[in-house]
């Protein structure tokens, strides 16, 4: 097994699924879907990312994973609920994760700060649940980065997605950006990964794009399917 895959495997399955108290997928890093962790690892490597940002830490399952898996990278997360932040901070401190910084903030503000501070941040957007859906403001705030949107409609029955006020989390999120990207990508549900996904319950889709960085690595990734935003809109 390739060294990076082994490292992902070992860290991923050592993270407790604290989010099970509320998350419909039972919690765990990236909704307990290791193929998403493998995709993130590929993207961090190919883009030589200099920081990782997650929005919406809840109880820190994904934050804990990212901080332990990438001890040499700064890992940022936030939540708008103070109790979630406090729990996640304590959890990371108990695990000795000194590279993680968790703030109690509204996610678009942190996205704006971090995406301006770093050259090639990986940004994982997972803030949901409150009355106000922050996704549009988060996307509008990104100066540059590799962007993954959680619970995105990838057009496959096995993968769930969010709906807020009747609006699905789908390509429209990218289309309404002030400067929409030309393309976005979704994981191919039939792609072969070096490790199987052990999530037998809910799996969420992921929408991926890049802002201010070369899109070539996404087009060349064997497990991603590219979509042309402009062509889809006029179809």
Among 126, 153, 162, 170, binds ligand SAM (CB under 6 A): 126
Per CB under 6 A, 81 contacts ligand SAM: yes
DSSP 31: G
- 106 makes contact with ligand SAM (CB under 6 A): yes
Binding status of residue 83 toward ligand SAM by CB under 6 A? no
Among 12, 15, 43, 55, binds ligand SAM (CB under 6 A): 55
> CA torsion sign, 40 to 154 to 61 to 174?
positive
33 binds ligand SAM (CB under 6 A): no
Contact call for residues 80 and 127 (beta carbons, < 8 A): yes
The 3-state DSSP class for residue 163 equals: strand
CB 121 within 8 A of CB 55: no
Question: Which residues are CB-neighbours of 214 under 8 A, at least 6 positions away?
Answer: none
Residues 6+ apart with CB under 8 A from 123: 53, 55, 111, 114, 115, 142, 145, 146, 147, 148
Min dist CB 228 to ligand SAM, Å, is: 29
In sequence order, the 6+-apart residues with CB closer than 8 A to the CB of 193 are 34, 35, 38, 223
- CB 84, min distance to ligand SAM, A: 5
Residues 194-223 within binding reach of ligand SAM (CB under 6 A): none
Tell me: does residue 58 bind ligand SAM (CB under 6 A).
yes
Residue closer to ligand SAM by CB (options 58, 76) is 58
Least spacing, CB of residue 122 vs ligand SAM, in Å: 14
* Among 51, 69, 134, 139, contact with ligand SAM (rule: CB under 6 A): 134
Query: Rule CB under 6 A: which residues touch ligand SAM?
Result: 19, 54-58, 61-62, 78-81, 84, 106-107, 126-130, 134
């Amino acid at each position: 097994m390739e060294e990076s895959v082994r490292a992902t495997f070992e860290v991923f399955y050592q993270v407790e699924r604290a989010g099970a108290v509320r998350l419909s997928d039972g919690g765990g890093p990236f909704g307990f879907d290791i193929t998403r962790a493998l995709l993130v690892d590929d993207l961090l490597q190919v883009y030589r990312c200099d920081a990782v940002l997650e929005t919406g830490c809840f109880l820190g399952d994904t934050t804990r994973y990212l901080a332990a898996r990438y001890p040499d990278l700064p890992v940022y997360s936030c939540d708008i609920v103070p109790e979630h932040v406090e729990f996640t901070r304590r959890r990371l401190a108990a695990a000795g994760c000194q590279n993680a910084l968790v703030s109690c903030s509204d996610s678009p503000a942190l996205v704006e700060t971090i995406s301006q501070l770093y050259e090639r941040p990986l940004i994982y957007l997972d803030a949901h649940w409150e009355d106000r859906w922050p996704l549009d403001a988060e996307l509008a705030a990104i100066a540059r980065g590799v962007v993954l949107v959680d619970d995105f409609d990838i057009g496959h029955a096995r993968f769930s997605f969010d709906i807020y006020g009747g609006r699905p989390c789908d390509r429209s999120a990218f289309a309404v950006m002030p400067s929409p990207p030309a393309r976005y990508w979704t994981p191919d549900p039939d792609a072969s990964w070096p490790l199987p996904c052990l999530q037998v319950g809910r799996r969420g889709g992921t929408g991926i794009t890049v802002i201010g960085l070369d899109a070539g690595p996404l087009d060349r990734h064997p497990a991603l399917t590219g979509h042309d935003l402009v062509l889809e809109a006029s179809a």
